[in-house]
Amino acid sequence: MRASFRNVHWQNTVFLFSTFLTTVIGVPIYLWHYGLNIFQFSLFFFFLVATGLSITLGYHRLFSHLTFQASPIVKFLVLLFGTAAFEGSALVWVADHRRHHKFVDHDDDPYDITKGFFHAHIGWLLFRTGPDTPLTWVRDLQKDRLVMWQHRFYIPLAFLVGFGMPTLIGYCYGGGSAALGALLLAGVARIVFVHHMTFCINSLCHWIGSRPYSSKCTARDSLLMAFFTFGEGYHNFHHEFQHDYRNGVKSWQFDPTKWSIWILNKLGLASDLRTVPEDKILKAQIAEQQRLHAQRIAAQGGLLCATKQGVLSAMQETMQEALAHWEETLAAWRAAKERRHEISARQLREVRRQLKEATERLRIALQQWEAAHQF
């Protein structure tokens, strides 16, 4: 008991519990007396998006994984509003996160899910279970003047932007009562929302969902979690391809952080967006499905009739042929796009048509291959 008491991280514990209690007690009292108007809702939503994206787009995809390059104004804004999330400086946050990826699901993982849901979600912040992550993990960021500026002035910036800015805006809008509402809603309650959004990435995104790309770690893909985490819910993809600026790699997947980076790129505020080739992604999915199918067959005790084995072998061969043809056609399409100023529009359309046909052939082959394993 004494050891646990001594291991409490009091600074984190007091802040996390005080903001939570203020939200569940103070906010309802304020709303009872003053109600909720469009100004307070809009201010809450603005700070929620600004600070949430500063974590997912800035701390995570920009600084932790270097998935794109950002202009100084973008870096300044995500570092500024990132302080208001009260999750530590970018330098400290990134060090922990890079360590998490290096040692995921092992003792050296700061928020190791194998130590329990509570530990991964918030326990690692409340109790010291080991030494702090050394900043040797972020030597590259220590050369960035903006990052170091934020690290040095993190605490005053956090209180100024996280509490002072919304309170001042509220006061200018409607005096003392509006300032109090802005402090409680856009300040305190919003911090709690952003905290648990981030905490869910460390806990629930390693707890619920599917693992379509790899089962080597606990990270999972979940549409539900994507809605609550600005697109970070496609966590299995992220752990397998951490240097891709997208988490929701499919065009239809909900990933506001990916869309924001794409828009910044179109505006000339972001560049060098890193992506994983689609053939590599598809191969990872197929390899994982093959592993699962082999596991299911092994569970049958190898008692497959000769006919069934023949069908599986035939479907496997058809799928591999379709995949090889698709990869060859995809390479031709990429080469044609690079030479689009040297070839005719008709030739470009023909290569595109061939890629479309190869894609359809592969889709059908994959469906048949998958159906053959449903037993």
DSSP string covering 71-99: -HHHHHHHHHHHHTTTS--HHHHHHHHHH
Which residue type is seen at 357?
A: E
pLDDT of residue 183: 98
Looking at residues 256-274, what average pLDDT do you find?
A: 98
Boundaries of every domain in the chain: 2-271, 278-372
- The string of DSSP codes covering 14-25 is HHHHHHHHIIII
CA distance linking residue 79 with residue 185, whole number of Å: 22
pLDDT of residue 307: 67
CA distance linking residue 112 with residue 104, whole number of Å: 7
Looking at residues 185-205, what average pLDDT do you find?
A: 97
Give φ, ψ of 271 to 5 degrees. Answer: -145, 175
pLDDT of residue 131: 83
Say if CB 240 and CB 101 are below 8 A apart: no
Position 372 pLDDT exceeds 80: no
Which residue type is seen at 225?
A: M
Tell me the whole-structure pTM to 2 decimals. Answer: 0.89
pLDDT of residue 128: 82
pLDDT of residue 359: 86
How would residue 195 be classed by pLDDT, with cut points 50, 70 and 90? very high
pLDDT single digits (tens) 312-340: 778 788 888 888 888 888 888 888 888 88
Position 71 pLDDT exceeds 50: yes
pLDDT of residue 30: 96
Higher pLDDT, 1 or 55: 55
DSSP 300: T
How would residue 83 be classed by pLDDT, with cut points 50, 70 and 90? very high
Which of 1-15, 132-146, 226-240, 242-256 bottoms out in mean pLDDT, i.e. has the lowest?
Answer: 1-15
pLDDT of residue 2: 45
How would residue 24 be classed by pLDDT, with cut points 50, 70 and 90? very high
pLDDT of residue 295: 77
CA 221, chain centre distance (Å): 10
Position 221 pLDDT exceeds 80: yes
In the chain, the percentage of residues whose pLDDT exceeds 90 is: 71
How would residue 174 be classed by pLDDT, with cut points 50, 70 and 90? very high
How would residue 143 be classed by pLDDT, with cut points 50, 70 and 90? very high
Q: What is the largest CA-CA distance in the chain?
A: 81
Which residue type is seen at 116?
A: G
Give φ, ψ of 208 to 5 degrees. Answer: -120, 150
Pick from 207, 241, 82: which is nearest to 154 by CA? 82
Within 10 angstroms of residue 309's Cβ, the number of other Cβ atoms is 12
How would residue 3 be classed by pLDDT, with cut points 50, 70 and 90? very low
pLDDT of residue 121: 96
